[in-house]
Amino acid sequence: MRNRLHKKDFSIHKDAVNAAASLAARFTELHAPAEKEKTLTPASTGSINSMKGRSPATYKPAVARSSTIRSVPSFEGSESSPDSKHSAFSSSVNSTASAMSNNPETNHHAQTPIKAKADPNNTSTTPSRWSTGAPRVVEPTPEPEHSTMSEGPEHTDGQWDSTIGKAGLGKTGRVINKLVSDNESLKRDIQIERLKADEAKQAAKLVEDKMERVVSDYESRLLEANVTKTLLARKERQVESLSATVDLEKKKTASALERERNWKDEMEKTRKETTVQVEEATNYAQLMEGRYNAISSHWQNQGDEVKRAVSKMKTEIEQLNEERRKDDDKIQTLKDLCDQQDNNIKQLRHEKEEIARMFEEYKKAQEDALKDIKTNARKREDEQERLLEQSREALAKLKWALNVKENVKGAQ
């Protein structure tokens, strides 16, 4: 549907516009106005052509044809029309017209206008769908004073009337009368065709008005279609966003339903467990109540013994408390003694550290003082070691010499 609204032209608009344009062109070509053609004048005033339309903004004045035509164009106009020029009796009509204009008596006769009925096939009817819905009143124009056509054969030209006498009895008179009657009938036909042409012009004008209304209606419909397309696109975007929102809400609803289902399951499970625990607690309470009743009934007569035992235990507890109090005093005394001994130990440690420090200082001072003595003693010791070694070597040599004298004969 969205793709169809993207079209700039619609089939209904094309059909209406093409039909109106073709109809207007056909009426314009077939009923082109003559150069000096005179228009008809409606006889009845206040003729109403009620046509229903779409809106009051499209009202336009239209010409309504009356049921009776009271005036016709003049004879000069018929001579200038294309139909009269190309007719077979144009020459005879022209000659008759010149003869009538030359006769001064016939020009002063008063002639009555021709009353012709309108052709029902050529009435300008408008379809109901193009009607404007408001009546249209056409004001008539004043009627001409003289008409060029007479109503019957008794009002024909006085030149060829029966008042001439025997002239109408001859063959020439009969031919002339026949030509005059034919001329009059041709004039009537020309006048009728001219009326039809005027009606066709009015119909063409109505068709033009209809075409203008169709064009305006097409433009309004096109504008409405564009507006509708824009609104539809906006609605589609809103629908997409709302669809996403609906999907999100559906997901939220599904998760909420799942959580609710889990919660209900857990609640049901907890309810069952609680019911079991309540039943167990009730049973245990009943059991304890039975035991208490049994114990109370068993020990009901032994209250004095219990009281004596309780008093004895109370005395023992008081003794124990007294001993505990004495022990607490001893513990406090020992704690004070321990604190005193701890202070003494701390003091002795401090004195020991002080003595060790002083001993280190004394030792360092003695080492500094005995440093030279130690160095000299070491030197002296080294010297003594050297002398002792030399003495040992000398002793060894002496012993060797003595041994040689003893062992070697002749040695001195």
Domain range holding 31? Answer: 12-212
Residue 157 lies in a domain: yes
Is residue 68 classed as helix, strand or coil in its secondary structure? Answer: strand
Mean of the per-residue pLDDT values of the chain: 70
Report the pLDDT value the prediction gives residue 385, as an integer from 0 to 100: 92
The vertex-171 CA angle with 158 and 163, nearest 5°, equals 25
- pLDDT tens readout for residues 289-307: 888 888 777 666 677 777 8
The token pair that represents 283 in the structure block: 């049973």
What pLDDT shows up at residue 402?
81
- Least confident window among 111-125, 287-301, 314-328: 111-125
Residue-level pLDDT at 119: 43
Is residue 365 within a helix (H) or strand (E), and if so which, with residue range? Answer: helix 303-407
Q: How confident is the model at residue 106 (pLDDT cuts 50, 70, 90)?
A: very low
Q: Is the pLDDT of residue 147 over 50?
A: no
The total number of structural domains in the chain stands at 1
- How do the residues of the chain divide into helix, strand and coil, expressed in percent and rounded to 5? 75, 5, 20
pLDDT tens digits, 324-360: 999 999 999 999 999 999 999 999 999 999 999 999 9
Residue pair 29/197 in contact by the 8 Å Cβ criterion: no
8-state DSSP, 49 = E
Three-state SS for 9? coil
Distances (CA, A) of 165 to 33, 158, 159, 173, 206: 45, 12, 11, 11, 54
Asked if residue 119 is part of any domain, the answer here is yes
Query: What's the rounded Cα separation, in Å, for the pair 70 and 144?
Result: 10
Q: Is the residue at 90 inside a domain?
A: yes
Listed in sequence order, the residues at least 6 apart from 236 whose beta carbon sits closer than 8 Å to its beta carbon are: 2
Residue with more model confidence, 410 or 37: 410
Domain-embedded: residue 333: no
311 occurs within a structural domain: no
Confidence bin at 283 (pLDDT 50/70/90): very high
* CA proximity to 51, closest of 203, 231, 233: 203
60 belongs to a structural domain: yes
What the block records as the tokens of 258 is: 């799942």
Burial of 54 (0-12, 13-18, 19+ CB in 10 A): middle
Residue 277 lies in a domain: no
The beta-strand segments (E) located in 258-335 are none
Rounded CA-CA distance 310/301 in Å is 16
Q: Which residue has the higher pLDDT, 200 or 20?
A: 200
Predicted local confidence at residue 28, as pLDDT: 52
Q: Is residue 173 part of a domain?
A: yes
Show the tokens assigned to 68.
Answer: 């009776």
CB 141 within 8 A of CB 68: no
